[in-house]
Amino acid sequence: EAAGEAEVRLLLQEARESIEAARSYRRELQQRLRGLHQAREQIKDSATLTRDVLEQHFSDLKGTLKKLLDERLMSLLQEVDVIEQESIKPLDECQKLIEHGVSTADDLLREGENAVDGDVGQQNEKLCNFTKKALHIQLDSLPEVPSLVDVPCLSAQLDDCLLTILKNQIFRHGTVASRPPVQLEEFVEKPGGILVRWCKVDDDFIPQDYRLQYRKGTSSHFEDVYVGSETEFMVLHIDPNVDYQFRVCARGDGRQEWSPWSVPQMGHTTLVPHEWTTGLEGYSLSSRRNIALRNDSQSCGVLYSKAPTYFCGQTLTFRQTVGQPDRRDSLGVCVEQRNGDDSLQRDKAVCISTNGAVFVNGKEMTNQLPAVTSGSTVTFDMEVVQLGPCSNEGGNFKLRVTISSNNREVVFDWVLDQCCGSLYFGCSFSYPGWKVLVF
């Protein structure tokens, strides 16, 4: 009996496992059905959009070609009018001259006939006057009339090769691509931004430039955010926890037209943007408070972040416009805000000076980075290496820090006496003109 119960329990267990496997199998199949449905909708939607684009494009071409042909026809007709008018004008003048001569000859004939047939007493005088008049008119001088070979004979010269050229160009105009040559590859969350990466998926396509666009949510309008040769771009001014749609295309080497767009994909960030603290007299901030400008104020001090928004495992980036350097200048991170300091070259902080010197807890390291230049970036990367037990009361805590500047980097361990899940960032400059973007 016990063996029978055990067998029943085993069968029940196997049955439950089979039921769970069937449920899992059904879920996977349903997921694949949804995937097939999405694929089918993508094909249909992209085909509909492609038809609309083709129809609109060729409709625009027809309108433009008709307009161009009408303009050319009007130009040729005007040219015919001008040649006709300029060629007929001297003929009209000659005709008037001849008609005037015919009229004069008619008058002279009537006068001569009257003189011949007149009274004998007046005949001599009339004949004398007629003879003088006839000599004055110069009856032997006739106007020159151009022969037909000397006057224009208009004709239209229409070369049929235009139709051949147009036909060849039209038959080669436009292509239909089943897959874009580039696709979006990865979205990396950043504080107040998204690092977007893309890749080439067509081995035969040689890209010259890429073009990245995005739009907020389901907004109808995409806008350009990057055009260039890189395959990644940091998109800033992204609102946290809001979906943004991205797409990318490329331009082939030596070509002017852009390729079809990649499949649009959604990206978002859950990380709040980095912001500088407001109210410090020596610095002016941008509207988003991610750019700080050292102004002309004589007041000096460290400008800190609004909150400890830098977390280990992230990359903190400073991009700056340079002013006059000073050895006490600093860019870096710290455990806490501390009023009264004029630099981050102090304890519980790591920083780089504008001359490239690296400071850890106020001590200058032997290794040095290149001096900060305008437009260059300084990045901080940190990972936790814990030495001892960590509690609310504190303990030995080590961070492995990598600071990069101008294609060089230094790596060191930063030992702290307390756990730090997040850090403040800060900067200090002695002279005006420095401007720092943080992201």
CATH of the domain at 402: 2.60.120.920
Domain closes at, from 172, 206, 225: 172
Domain end among 135, 153, 172: 172
Q: Are residues 262 and 290 in the same domain?
A: no
- Residue 364 neighbours by CB distance under 10 Å: 13
Contact 228, 249 (CB under 8 A): no
Query: How do 349-352 and 330-334 pair as beta strands?
Result: antiparallel
CA–CA separation, 191 and 32 (whole Å): 34
Taking Cα atoms as reference points, which of 312, 322, 313 lies closest to residue 356? 322
pLDDT means over runs of 10, the chain (439 residues): 76 92 94 92 89 93 95 94 92 89 84 73 72 74 82 87 88 84 94 93 91 88 94 92 95 87 92 91 92 90 94 91 93 92 94 95 94 93 74 67 94 88 93 93
CA distances from 280 to 133, 302, 346 (A): 113, 9, 20
Q: How many domains does the chain have?
A: 3
For residue 389, the model assigns a pLDDT of 55
Residue ranges making up the domain that contains 374: 283-438
> Do 231 and 303 reside in the same domain of the chain?
no
Same-domain status, 403 and 296: yes
Q: Do 371 and 316 share a domain, yes or no?
A: yes
Q: Any idea what the CATH number is for the domain that residue 234 is in?
A: 2.60.40.10
pLDDT at 106: 85
* Extended strands (E) in 254-396: 265-267, 283-285, 291-294, 303-304, 310-311, 315-321, 330-334, 349-352, 357-360, 363-368, 377-385
Q: What is the pLDDT of residues 36-80, one digit of tens each?
A: 998 899 889 889 988 998 999 999 999 999 999 999 999 999 999
Would 42 be classed as within a structural domain? yes
**Same domain? 27 vs 103:** yes
Q: Are residues 294 and 386 in the same domain?
A: yes
Report yes or no: 331 and 378 within 8 Å, Cβ to Cβ.
Answer: yes
pLDDT of residue 107: 82
One DSSP character per residue, 114-165 reads HHHHS-HHHHHHHHHHHHHHHHHHTTT-------GGGS--------THHHHH
Q: Is residue 275 part of a domain?
A: no
User: Are both 78 and 212 inside the same structural domain?
Assistant: no
* C-alpha distances out from residue 52 to 22, 55, 57, 359, 425, Å: 44, 5, 8, 61, 51
Domain boundary among 172, 198, 228: 172
Q: Is residue 273 one of the residues assigned to a domain? A: no
In Å, how far from its chain's centre is CA 16? 58
CB atoms within 10 A of CB 352: 27
In a domain, 432, yes or no: yes
3 part of a folded domain: no
| Residues 254 and 323 placed together within one structural domain of the fold | no
Strands 363-368 and 357-360: antiparallel
- What does the alpha-carbon distance between residue 199 and residue 342 come to, in Å, rounded to a whole number? 45
Q: Say whether both 227 and 366 belong to one domain.
A: no
Q: CA 269 to CA 192: how far, in whole Å? A: 7
Confirm whether pTM is higher than 0.75.
Answer: no
Residue 4 lies in a domain: no
| Pairing, β 244-252 against β 232-235 | unpaired
**Residue 72 and residue 155 in one domain:** yes
- Token pair 């400071």 in the structure block, residue: 359
| Same domain (yes/no): 154, 211 | no
Residue at 16 is within a domain? yes
- Grouping H, G, I as helix, E, B as strand and the rest as coil, residue 412 is strand
Q: Tell me if 20 is assigned to some domain.
A: yes
Residues 142, 65 share a domain: yes
Taking the CA atoms of 116, 119, 124 and 127 in sequence, report the sign of the dihedral they define. Answer: negative
Residues 6+ apart with CB under 8 A from 54: 174, 176
Q: Are the C-beta atoms of residues 209 and 255 closer than 8 Å to each other?
A: no
